[in-house]
Structure 1
């Protein structure tokens, strides 16, 4: 068992009775988590937070340490909200069980397949959406482009091409809201149950066809893997991919567009040098990480960041905080696409490193941003309404009003 990295991440010992974590309110985290994260990193980097019923891990080095020790910090959280919503997905499994399901789903998301197959389809989606918006001269870029774009692409990649983009967006949001439903809102549970059933129905509609006619999609890959997944396993993993696979590209697309529109010198740089689109993407997911927190559970007593944590404890891995750690990133609250190095952990690490990372990079930095900034002349923020952000388990802009000259 690899315990050294976790045991060496702090010297001063603290306990769950430390006071800072007890003051953390989920509503404040949702509005603006970064001031709270800054204080946690400084005063209590591994803090027991009663409002979240878990220890929150705020520092970059502690996040890296726990990811290097999956035997101690297990993804198989008992009574997981994700399992309640989606079933037992690969994200909530460890070891051989996780590796088997990941291997079945992975082939369509490998870099070469993304480059040679999916990127062309992503470009078609982007062009069709811009064609539909162009004459209007204004739009909410989140609602009218980023959401439908991510949804249509996801339907193609999954093997659900007939799923309406509006349905995919509703399913994703309903299930993601439920996986972060730490306040136990019954309305959120009901909405997620409806979404989960509709996803199952959509999968059932395509299974027969994909069994007979395999294609490049994820569902097809899972059906025809060397060790094929069961229908129950396919359903669970499609649900989790609908969550992250829509959330991450949508929110990184919108946040990054907002960043470039509000940093004209960096926008000018990336438009002059297309190689910088990729760096803009990496800085965007560091600056506002679309998945801001994910859970783990300890399998033994361990010391992390100077805090002794009991066996079976729930952990919240604060990616959104780790990616603004001032000991790793100079001036971390500033958006800077020239940042180098940029050792962000927005896609996690270890055996659970995000499967869809190359899909997100392609959709956003290779296709969506270059298309939007090239095809919408004079693209700029509209004067109102003001852009708002929200979330801490998942974070992004809530609106993005823009205008251009048709």
Structure 2
């Protein structure tokens, strides 16, 4: 990448709000090296959509990458037959049929229990008390780690995603990540005997039934927790914030002119909870005149592509009436998020409608700060409702 444009960022400002920098990059340097991240950023939607499929060039296999070193080599860090074999093994857990027939009823029960407990209080933090719990409880049953609390599910998820985004090499963040992965392994080991005797459709059980190795099982469960907790948590809370700060959009849903699925899809486009996916260049490639060489680290910036001015009519607006079909919030290639159907069900079919139905006159009680660029969402969100 000897001829790659170089673009400097302020890491703290980028974490707080990456969109101004990403907009500049899309317009002026859609393929650029950011020294503070040690990677080439690809920021336009169509470039990501096309090139993510070129696994012979943009490889997911990254033995020295943060995710592989911290969490093991999961199926997201494999390509071709190796990736598809593990994807096939976990399909019984995440298939649309299993989501509809097995998980949805449990999602409803868990959400009902949380809202029933919290309703008399009239106040809560939507991130910390509601979204985090709903997401964590759903993940407990889907992974098979029912011996883990929803609080520990969230703690381990956050520890791992912080570790995977630790491009500055903070030793405290890395140590916390190792502690979280150790906790997951302990919970896996404790659940295996019961699932050997009584197999089910949980992620742990179906991988055991498929004959995957202990290393494969562990790495894929850590992958599911790292993305399967924070993404629903951040979208549940974030979408509610978006509706409460855009009452005209909430009215569209309440009047039947837009659906809860529209809310989910448009929010995931507008404020992509997973904003980036890393790749490693496997063979020489030219992109927009930039010569990429084997070993170069590339970040596909989903959060940027989802605000591409050449694709979306009002990219910086939360607008349920615009076409969010081209969104790449779940990815665009063979690594398209395996949990997409479960996320849609949990958030659009269950959590959002139930929260607005049960918490009457739901309203914000304070300012809502956001953070993150690789993973992005509201940090805290005080709310109140009528009792």
TM-score range, shorter chain: over 0.9
Partner of 1:221: 206
Tell me: CA distance 1:95–1:150, structure 2 relative to 1, closer, same or farther (3 Å): same
User: Following superposition, which runs of at least 4 residues in structure 1 exceed 6 angstroms of deviation?
Assistant: none
Measure how far apart 1:113 and its partner are. Answer: 1.1
Question: 2-side partners of 1:213 and 1:313: how far apart?
Answer: 46
- Shift in Å, 1:272: 2.5
Aligned to 1:97, which of 82, 94, 104? 82
Matched-pair contact (CA < 8 Å) for 2:119–2:359: yes
TM-score between the two structures when normalised by the length of structure 2: 0.98
Offset of 1:158 from its aligned partner?
A: 0.5
Give the aligned partner of residue 376 of structure 1: 359
**What residue number does 1:171 align with?**
156
How far apart in 2 are the matches of 1:405 and 1:166?
27
> What is residue 105 of structure 2 aligned with on the other side?
120
Matches within 5 A, 1:4-403: 15-16=3-4, 18-19=5-6, 21=7, 23-225=8-210, 228-273=211-256, 276-382=259-365, 384=366, 386-403=367-384
Deviation of the 1:209 alpha carbon: 1.2
Q: 2:25 is paired with a residue of what secondary structure?
A: helix
Counterpart contact for 2:56–2:283, Cα < 8 Å = no
> Which secondary structure state, in structure 1, belongs to the residue aligned with residue 33 of structure 2?
strand
User: 2:197 and 2:174 mapped to 1: Cα distance?
Assistant: 36
Mean alpha-carbon deviation: is it higher for 153-162 or for 306-315? 306-315
Question: How many Å apart are 1:210 and its aligned residue?
Answer: 0.9
Deviation at 1:274, TM superposition (A): 8.2
Post-superposition Cα deviations, 1:168-227, rounded to whole Å, max 9, x if no partner, equal 1110000110000001000001111111111000000111111121112111111112xx
Counterparts of 1:120 and 1:336, CA distance in 2: 30
Does the 8 A contact of 1:77 with 1:314 survive in 2? Answer: no
User: 1 CA distance for matches of 2:357 and 2:386?
Assistant: 12
Range moving further from structure 2, 37-46 or 210-219: 210-219
Q: Tell me: CA distance 1:215–1:275, structure 2 relative to 1, closer, same or farther (3 Å).
A: farther
Q: 1:14 to 1:85 in 2, by over 3 A?
A: closer
1:6-31 superposed Cα distances (whole Å, 9 cap, x missing partner): xxxxxxx9922x24x1x123222101
Q: Deviations over 1:116-151 (max 9, x none)?
A: 111110000111000111011111101010001100
**Mapped partners of 2:63, 2:115: distance in 1:** 44
SS in structure 2 opposite 1:98? helix
Over aligned residues, Cα RMSD in angstroms? 1.3
Indicate if the aligned counterparts of 1:329 and 1:342 stay in contact, CA closer than 8 A: no
Cα distance in 1 between the residues matched to 2:51 and 2:384: 44
Aligned mates of 1:77, 1:174 — CA distance in 2: 20
**Structure 2 residue ranges without an equivalent (≥5):** none
CA contact (8 A) 1:222 1:229 kept: yes
On the 8 A contact 2:147/2:191 being kept in 1, the answer is: no
User: Where does the alignment leave 5 or more consecutive residues of structure 1 unmatched?
Assistant: 1-12
The alignment covers a number of residue pairs equal to 387
Task: Indicate the SS of the match to 1:42.
Answer: helix
Question: What residue number does 1:9 align with?
Answer: none
Distance 1:393 1:232 in 2: 26
